[in-house]
Amino acid sequence: MWQQTKQQLYRKFEFSNFSAAFAFMVRVAMEAEKMNHHPRWTNVWNTVEIWLSTHDAGDIVTKKDLELAKKIDALV
């Protein structure tokens, strides 16, 4: 579930292994690129953490972030 914190949307995803986590990141990257809206994220082994905010709107959560979050949820 996404949490709004410090003017960002945040969610932690855990997968069975590194390959599954990395495959998820590739799918997210494709959607983010289509939207020209790129997340801040980290990956350590089976865990992917994502933070979303709109930089050109002053680093706040906008409709673009909510839309990308929805697309990301559909990829899990």
CA–CA distance, 58 with 23 (Å, rounded to integer): 31
> For the structural domain made of 3-75, what CATH number should be given?
3.30.1360.20
Return the pLDDT at 55: 87
Q: What is the pLDDT confidence band of residue 9, given thresholds at 50, 70 and 90?
A: very high
Tallying the residues shown for the chain, one arrives at: 76
pLDDT bucket at 6, cuts 50 / 70 / 90 = confident
Distance CA 51, CA 20 (A): 19
The pLDDT assigned to 2 comes to 97
pLDDT in tens, 25-75: 999 999 999 999 999 999 999 999 999 999 888 888 999 999 999 999 999
